[in-house]
Amino acid sequence: MTTTGPLETDNSATDSPASDSPATGKRRDFLTLLTLAAGGAGVAAFSWPFLDSLRPGDSGAARPPVDVDVSKLPPGQQITVVWHGSPVFITHRTPQALERLQQASLAARLRDPSSAALQQPPYAANWHRSIVPAYGVVVGICTHLGCVPTYSPAPDPTTPVANWPGGYACPCHGSKFDLAGRVFIGAPAPYNLPVPPYAMPTPTTIRIGANPPGTDFDFSSIQQI
């Protein structure tokens, strides 16, 4: 309909758009810009499923709660289970160990004895940092640089530190925690060991990853793992 059709502009040497009048050139520039923008938007939209497929999968389906039967766990012993790819220590604490956890002299040696920092669900923000005193549940990753602390439950006057009440000692940089996962003063680790959300459907079953009924705690909201 205009002078840009192939049959009309039969000047075979100058088929290029540059030879058009300025008004046509502006309109052509606009159309080119519009075409490029639409094409760019199309390519961007098309690349979405490709990038999306690189995203880690649905965490809800990939991270079901883990049920652990602790009825066969003798007092003083610990088992390690894997949850979210991390080691979780489940400890059956002896009455003597629980007694030591409550001593005022121990609290004076701890950085955060009353669990003020958000390193545990509200239902574990107590002196034993668990739902029931007998069973301790902590994520076994040192809050300093991520090593797995060693379980040293026996009290000892000299090792690993003087007047050791029993707890965890990190092999990497010497951080120390008591049997409730509370960090000692003078160690590099800044926070207590995290307590994962867990419930006890029966007195000897620990369900890691599920909150007790009526509570709501998001593990990703803690200070530091």
Partner 1 sequence: MTDAGSRDRPDEQEKAGLVPWLDARLPVVSAFRREYVDYRTPRNLNGLWNFGAILTVVLLVMLATGIFLAVNYTPTAAGAFASIEAIDRQLPSGWLLRSIHVTGASMFLAALYIHLFRGLYYGSYKAPREVLWLTGLVLLAMVMLTAFAGYVLPWGQMSYWGADVAGKAVDAIPGVGPWLEHFLQGGDAPGDVSLHRFFILHMVLAFAVLGVVGIHVAALHVTGSNNPLGIEPRGAGDTLPFHPYYTSKDALGLILFALLFAVVVFFLPDVVFEAENFRPANPLHTPADIEPEWYFLPFYGILQSVPSKFGGLLASVGAILVLFLVPWLDRSPIRSARFRPLYRACMGVLVVCFVLLGFVGRHHAQGGWMIAGRIAVVYYFAHFLVLLPLSARTERGIVLPDGIAGAGRRGA
* Residue ranges in contact with partner 1 by CB under 8 A: 6-7, 10, 12-13, 15-17, 35, 48-50, 52-53, 55, 57-58, 61-62
- Count the Cβ atoms, other than its own, within 10 Å of residue 178: 25
What is the smallest separation between the CB atom of 27 and partner 1, expressed in angstroms? 13
| Closer to partner 1 by Cβ: residue 61 or 162 | 61
DSSP assignments along 160-185, one per residue: SSTTB-SEEE-TTT--EEETT-PBBT
* Residue closer to partner 1 (CB basis): 11 or 158: 11
Q: Which residues of 34-50 are buried (b: 16+ CB within 10 A; e: fewer)?
A: eeeeeeeeeeeeeeeee
Measured from the CB atom, the residue of 55 and 72 that comes closer to partner 1 is 55
Nearer to partner 1, 44 or 108 (CB): 44
Residue 16 or 221: the one with the smaller Cβ distance to partner 1 is 16
Q: Which phi-psi region, left, alpha or beta, contains residue 111 (left: φ > 0; alpha: ψ -120 to 50)? A: alpha
- Pick between residue 4 and residue 80 the one whose CB is nearest to partner 1: 4
| Residue whose pair of structure tokens reads 């009825």 in the numeric block | 71
DSSP per position, 60-75 = HHHS--EEEE-TT--T
Q: What contacts 92, CB < 8 A, 6 or more positions away?
A: 70, 73, 74, 75, 76, 77, 78, 134, 135
Please report how close the Cβ of residue 209 comes to partner 1 at its closest, in angstroms. 19
Rounded least distance, CB 210 to partner 1, Å: 21
Residue 40 Cβ vs partner 1, minimum distance, rounded to whole Å = 13
Bridge-based pairing state of the strands 135-139 and 86-92: antiparallel
Structure tokens at 204: 């000897």
- Closest approach, Cβ 36 to partner 1, in A, equals 11
CB of 169 to partner 1, least distance (A): 40
